């Protein structure tokens, strides 16, 4: 625990996790993203909203997609952007997180986008940030990746409409190591999703996963029955130490998403993946590139959703 | 109190006489009250194309004063490049909304000419901006707030 994500008026101050955020805040993000999708379609894609503000990107853990879409989102809001590949600089020299934060505050940064391999890193930054400085979590350990979850949910809403109660959503794969899945589960339940299923081998599920409000399936084919949305998760090999899986090919046989398997889902079912994909492990190539896939649209929507979160966190009136 | 419908009628007459029937402008209403007025002007001008709407929330100059309020999607339905644009708002006061709207408009293209129609022009300009077409002029106390309620019926309310 630590400082709250919402200020005393219920406005978003930091964005660290989807857990515990009220439905109205999640919907405000989604609605605002709509307006940014519209401006992103223009020849001139930027708006002057955050002109003169400074946004620092602190990536202690490597990332291509998340970092570039955050950077583009900040630029399209006309903010000044500082991107620090911290893994390669100060952290390697032993500078503490707190020193890194204080140094960047001395450069008058207004918002930090933080990605770190340790759960709770973004919360740590938020706890120590000066008044008026906002922190966005771009992924912390196994804990949360709230903007990814919101862009996934935004993508679902664009395709399936605003009534989540009518939807059956299936999350497939490595839930245990996935901060994306955790953030998705919290947000989808807050939005009162009709039914949320997870399908994975028991070794890749956290203890007491049902308590998060999901139905657990050992058999993927059963889980896919009448699904509206299927979300494949990446096997996080870099976070696995020990024997979670027999082999990748066996995993694909049991839990790989294929066009054949998807026939059990609804005909207009959409297939999503947060990337980067292990083709032929979690998902077959023809499905990933086929008509059900909205995977590249997720990337485009990610820019608008990240713009929305930045605009809300920096758009609070100064007292 | 001002009658919104009488002002609207005067505004429509002025706008109608400003363009030959063969050359109608692109009508852009500022969200939300301006869009209501723009819809009436469209009917009055006999323009078939739907009006465009502009939400100026991303272009405001008071973000750190009053905070960021929800913004709805703008929809510019046709290109404004080299076209005559009729920009429409409900109440012209400080001129800051129009400044923001011009900024937003020019991110969509380069119009040949922009003219401004406002249902009501009240005193209190803070920028060198004036309307080309006005339904009614009014002088109010500095602290007074005038608001248009609508869209049906249109009603002016002094707060």
How many CB atoms within 10 Å of residue A209? 19
Element (H, E) at A39: helix A23-40
Residue of A nearest to B57 (CA): A49
A300 phi, psi to nearest 5 deg: -60, -45
Percentage, residues of chain A above pLDDT 70: 94
Q: Nearest CB to A42: which of B65, B68, B107?
A: B107
Average pLDDT over residues A80-107: 80
CATH of domain A146-295: 3.40.50.1370
Which fold, A23-144+300-314? Answer: Rossmann fold (3.40.50)
- C-beta atoms of A315 and B70 within 8 A: no
Q: How far is B95 from chain A (nearest CA, A)?
A: 18
* Rounded CA separation B99/B68 (Å): 18
* Rounded CA separation A180/A140 (Å): 10
Q: Give pLDDT, residue B4.
A: 96
Domain boundaries, chain B: 4-17+24-63+72-146
Q: Which residues of B touch A50 (CB under 8 A)?
A: 63
- C-beta atoms of A315 and B59 within 8 A: no
Q: Provide ipTM, 2 decimals.
A: 0.88
Q: Over the stretch B27-48, which tens digit does the pLDDT of each residue have?
A: 999 999 999 999 999 999 999 9
pLDDT at A250 over 60: yes
Q: Over the stretch B43-57, which tens digit does the pLDDT of each residue have?
A: 999 999 999 999 999
Here the tokens at position B134 are 């006005």
Of B66, B104, B72, B64, the residue nearest A50 (C-alpha): B64
Choosing among A42, A76, A78, which should be mutated to test the B contact, i.e. which has the most B CBs within 10 A?
A: A42
pLDDT at A109 over 70: yes
Q: Does B75 touch chain A (CB under 8 A)?
A: yes
Q: Over the stretch A186-236, which tens digit does the pLDDT of each residue have?
A: 999 999 999 999 999 999 999 999 999 999 999 999 999 999 999 999 988
* Rounded CA separation B87/B25 (Å): 9
- C-beta atoms of A317 and B73 within 8 A: no
Q: Over the stretch A129-158, which tens digit does the pLDDT of each residue have?
A: 998 899 999 999 999 999 999 999 999 999
Look up the pTM and report it: 0.93
Q: Within chain A, which residue ranges are assigned CATH 3.40.50.1370? A: 23-144+300-314, 146-295
Q: Give pLDDT, residue A90.
A: 60
CATH of domain B4-17+24-63+72-146: 3.40.50.2020
Q: Over the stretch B51-91, which tens digit does the pLDDT of each residue have?
A: 999 999 999 988 877 778 778 889 998 999 999 999 999 99
Q: Give pLDDT, residue B82.
A: 96
The answer for residues whose C-beta is within 8 angstroms of residue A180's C-beta and 6 or more apart is A145, A148, A149, A152, A233, A274
Q: Which residues of A touch B103 (CB under 8 A)?
A: 48
CA B66 from centre of chain:
22
Strand A215-217 relative to strand A229-232, pairing: unpaired
Q: Give pLDDT, residue B63.
A: 81
Q: Give pLDDT, residue A1.
A: 64
Of B18, B26, B104, B111, the residue nearest B60 (C-alpha): B104
pLDDT at A180 over 70: yes
């Amino acid at each position: 625990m630590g400082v709250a994500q919402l200020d005393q008026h219920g406005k978003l101050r930091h964005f660290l996790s989807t857990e515990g955020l009220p439905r109205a805040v999640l919907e405000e993000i989604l609605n605002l993203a709509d307006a940014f999708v519209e401006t992103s379609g223009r020849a001139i894609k930027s708006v002057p909203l955050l002109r003169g503000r400074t946004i620092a990107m602190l990536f202690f853990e490597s990332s291509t997609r998340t970092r570039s879409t955050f950077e583009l989102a900040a630029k399209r809001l006309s903010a000044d952007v500082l991107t620090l590949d911290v893994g390669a600089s100060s952290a390697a020299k032993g500078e503490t997180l707190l020193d890194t934060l204080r140094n960047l505050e001395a450069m008058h940064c207004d918002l930090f986008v933080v990605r770190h391999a340790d759960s709770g890193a973004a919360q740590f930054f938020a706890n120590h940030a000066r008044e008026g400085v906002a922190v966005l979590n771009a992924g912390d350990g196994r804990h949360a990746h709230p903007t990814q979850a919101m862009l996934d949910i935004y993508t679902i809403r664009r395709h399936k409409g605003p009534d989540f109660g009518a939807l059956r959503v299936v999350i497939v794969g490595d839930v245990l190591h996935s901060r994306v899945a955790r953030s998705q589960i919290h947000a989808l339940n807050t939005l009162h999703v009709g039914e949320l299923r997870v399908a994975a081998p028991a070794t890749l599920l956290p203890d007491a996963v049902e308590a998060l409000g999901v139905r657990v399936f050992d058999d993927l084919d059963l889980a896919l029955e009448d699904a509206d949305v299927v979300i494949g998760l990446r096997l996080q090999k870099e976070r696995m130490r020990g024997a979670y899986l027999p082999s990748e090919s066996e995993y694909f046989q049991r839990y790989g998403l294929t066009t054949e398997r998807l026939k059990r889902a609804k005909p207009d079912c959409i297939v999503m993946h947060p990337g980067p994909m292990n083709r032929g492990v979690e998902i077959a190539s023809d499905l990933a590139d086929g008509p059900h896939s909205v995977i590249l649209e997720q990337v485009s929507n990610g820019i608008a959703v990240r713009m929305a979160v930045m605009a809300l966190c920096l758009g609070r009136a100064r007292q | 109190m001002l009658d919104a419908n009488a002002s609207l009628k005067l505004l429509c007459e002025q706008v109608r006489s400003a363009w030959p029937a063969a050359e109608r402008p692109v009508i852009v209403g500022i969200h939300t009250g301006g869009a209501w007025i723009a819809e009436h002007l469209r009917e009055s001008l006999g323009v078939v194309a739907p009006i465009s709407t502009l939400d100026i929330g991303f272009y405001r100059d008071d973000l750190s004063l009053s905070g960021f309020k929800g913004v709805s999607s703008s929809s510019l339905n046709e290109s404004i490049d080299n076209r005559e644009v009729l920009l429409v708002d409900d109440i012209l006061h400080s001129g800051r909304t129009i400044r923001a709207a011009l900024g937003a408009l020019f991110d969509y293209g380069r119009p040949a000419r922009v003219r401004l129609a406002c249902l009501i022009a009240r005193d209190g300009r803070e920028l060198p901006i004036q309307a080309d077409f006005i339904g009614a002029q009014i002088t109010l106390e500095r602290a007074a707030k005038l608001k248009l309620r609508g869209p049906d019926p249109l009603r002016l309310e002094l707060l």
